[in-house]
């Protein structure tokens, strides 16, 4: 396993396991158990995913020591604000069955972000969270939060895959020592990513799958990734990416796939802001 070091010195696995869109609690718990068996130690969930209890159940019966695990969850829009954030945090902690979180993130850049951040700063200082950060923050919003708070975000989880590479956003994060994390590393199969000729050619060069090439590409860009699968053989395949490297030419070739736009939706679209804000976790 590769690790990244967050700005406060916390060590974080670079490859983790995501549970977005696994709402069935029994299936989610089984998937987390299998991921633990494969070797995953970073697990990423959120209040909005409605499966924190499943992760908690899996961790409760796991023989893996707590200090070897890195657990992330996220604050939803409707829980934004100082008091609501404190309440939401402890609710998530209880569902996960934990004494502390390794990483707590503001899930969307909407509502009372500053109130939420003040609460998270306090929880961090109390040792209840090892690291704090955000999701889906565009560079301008991220820098604003970093400049006008005592503690700057340690990580920003954003959409990042070969068709939306976020090169410029990563440059800004690097300038402020904020770790970049990818959600949707496979673009959820959009743009026929698993049939892409360039990625297939690179995969053939290394005797690997396209999924492995994409994850290796993210690793070499120093990006944390959290692929999801409910199939143990696919979990193992995604995990087997530390025995090869892409060449500089291959890394450069993949740059040509960048469409520089989301494959899903624009967080600055007023209609999408309204839709997300009306979503109840």
Where do the structural domains in the chain lie, given as residue ranges? Answer: 3-278
pLDDT at 21: 87
> In the chain, which stretches have pLDDT less than 70?
none
Centre a 10 Å sphere on the Cβ of residue 131 and count the other Cβ atoms it contains: 23
pLDDT at 156: 98
Chain position carrying tokens 């893996």: 64
Which residues belong to the active site? 49
Listed residue (88, 23, 19) closest to 50, CA to CA: 23
pLDDT at 55: 96
pLDDT at 279: 86
Centre a 10 Å sphere on the Cβ of residue 86 and count the other Cβ atoms it contains: 17
The answer to whether the predicted template modeling score (pTM) of the entire model surpasses 0.85 is yes
- Please give the Cα distance from 61 to 66 (Å, whole number): 11
Reading the block at residue 163, the tokens are: 């068709």
pLDDT at 280: 75
Give Cα separations from 246 to 98, 159, 205, 276 (angstroms): 38, 22, 9, 37
pLDDT at 23: 80
Is 206 labelled as part of a ligand binding site?
no
- Please give the Cα distance from 12 to 3 (Å, whole number): 5
| Topology of domain 3-278, CATH | TIM Barrel (3.20.20)
Would you call 5 helix, strand, or coil by DSSP? strand
Residues in the chain: 281
The per-residue pLDDT for range 92-138, each reduced to its tens digit, is 999 999 999 999 999 999 999 999 999 999 999 999 999 999 999 99
pLDDT at 99: 96
Q: Classify strands 224-225 and 179-183 as parallel, antiparallel or unpaired.
A: parallel
């Amino acid at each position: 396993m590769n690790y990244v070091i967050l700005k406060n010195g916390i060590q974080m696995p670079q490859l983790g396991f995501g549970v977005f869109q696994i709402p069935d609690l029994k299936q989610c718990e089984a998937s987390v158990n299998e991921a633990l068996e494969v070797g995953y130690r970073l697990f990423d969930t959120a209040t909005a995913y409605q499966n924190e209890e499943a992760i908690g159940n899996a961790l409760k019966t796991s023989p893996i020591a707590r200090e070897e695990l890195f657990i992330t969850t996220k604050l939803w829009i409707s829980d934004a604000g100082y008091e609501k954030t404190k309440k939401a945090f402890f609710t998530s902690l209880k569902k996960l069955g934990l004494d502390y979180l390794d990483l707590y993130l503001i899930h969307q850049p909407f509502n009372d972000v500053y109130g939420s951040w003040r609460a998270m700063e306090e929880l961090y200082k109390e040792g209840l969270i090892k690291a704090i950060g955000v999701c889906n923050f565009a560079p301008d919003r991220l820098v604003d939060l970093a400049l006008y708070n005592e503690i700057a975000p340690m990580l920003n989880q954003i959409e990042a895959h070969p068709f939306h590479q976020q090169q410029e956003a990563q440059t800004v994060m690097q300038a402020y020592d904020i770790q970049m994390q990818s959600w949707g590393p496979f673009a959820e199969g959009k743009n026929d990513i698993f049939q892409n000729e360039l990625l297939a050619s690179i995969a053939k060069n290394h005797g690997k799958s396209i999924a492995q090439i994409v994850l290796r590409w993210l690793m070499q860009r120093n990006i944390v990734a959290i692929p999801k699968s409910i199939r143990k053989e696919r979990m193992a395949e995604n995990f087997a990416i530390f025995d090869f490297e892409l060449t500089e030419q291959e890394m450069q070739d993949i740059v040509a796939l960048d469409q520089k736009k989301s494959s899903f939706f624009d967080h600055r679209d007023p209609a999408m802001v309204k839709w997300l804000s009306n979503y109840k976790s």
